[in-house]
Amino acid sequence: MPAGVPNLPQDALSSQRFSIEIDSVSLAQFQEVSGASSEVDVIEVKEVDKTGRPTLKKQIGALKPPTITLKRAANQSMDLWNWHQAALDGKLKDARRNGSIVQYDFEHQEVARYNFTNAWVSKVTVSGFKAGDNAPSVEEITIVCETFARVK
C-alpha cells in the first residue's frame, strides 16, 4: 500500500495557527480568514466532429483572483481603515499593497505561505451594536487582489 511521499511530514496543518502580513508587516489578532482561493475560469467550446456529432471541449480561461475576508475583534487601531480610506479617496497607488497568509506548525515554524498582490480593501463591516451584549465588536475586512499563490 502507498505510504505517502518518503521523508516528508504527514501531519495536517492546523488552521488555528496563522498570521497576516501586509507589506511584510505582521498584523495581529485576526480571528478568521476566508475566501483565500485559486481558481481558473473554464472556457467551453461547442463543436461538431467530422461525423457531425456535437462535442464539448473545456479549455483554460482567465485567472479569477480571490476576494479575501479577514475577521477580527475591533480595536483602536486605524491601520485597516486608513488602508480602506486610500481606496475611498481614489488613491489606488497608496491603496494597493502586497501581503501573505502564513501558516505555522505547533512549534511556531512557518510551514505554508500564500502571497497576494496589488490588494486593496474594498469593504469594511462592523458588527451590530447591542446594549447588554458581552460579545466583542467584530470588524470584517474584504480585500480584493490581483494574484494569489502558494509559495511555500
Residue 6 scores a pLDDT above 90: no
- The pLDDT tens digits of the residues spanning 48-89 come to 999 999 999 999 999 998 999 999 988 888 888 999 999 999
- State the residue range of the domain holding 119: 18-38+66-150
Return the ∠ at Cα 70 (arms to 67 and 76), rounded to 5°. Answer: 135
Query: What's the CATH number where 105 sits?
Result: 2.30.110.20
Round to whole Å and give the CA distance between 57 and 55: 7
Higher pLDDT, 88 or 18: 88
Q: Considering the domain boundaries, does residue 1 fall inside one?
A: no
Residue 3 maps to a domain = no
Residue 7 belongs to some domain of the structure: no
Domain tally, the chain? 1
Q: Is residue 59 part of a domain?
A: no
Q: Has residue 98 got a pLDDT over 90?
A: yes
What pLDDT is recorded for position 16? 83
pLDDT at 2: 47
State the cell numbers at 18: 496563522
> Residue 33 corresponds to which amino acid?
V
Residue 95 lies in a domain: yes
pTM of the model: 0.81
Is 13 among the domain residues?
Answer: no
H-run or E-run covering 69? strand 67-73
User: Is 92 contained in some domain?
Assistant: yes
pLDDT in tens, 114-152: 999 999 999 999 988 888 888 888 999 999 999 999 999
In sequence order, what are the beta bridge partners of 102? 19, 113
The reply to whether 29 falls in a domain is: yes
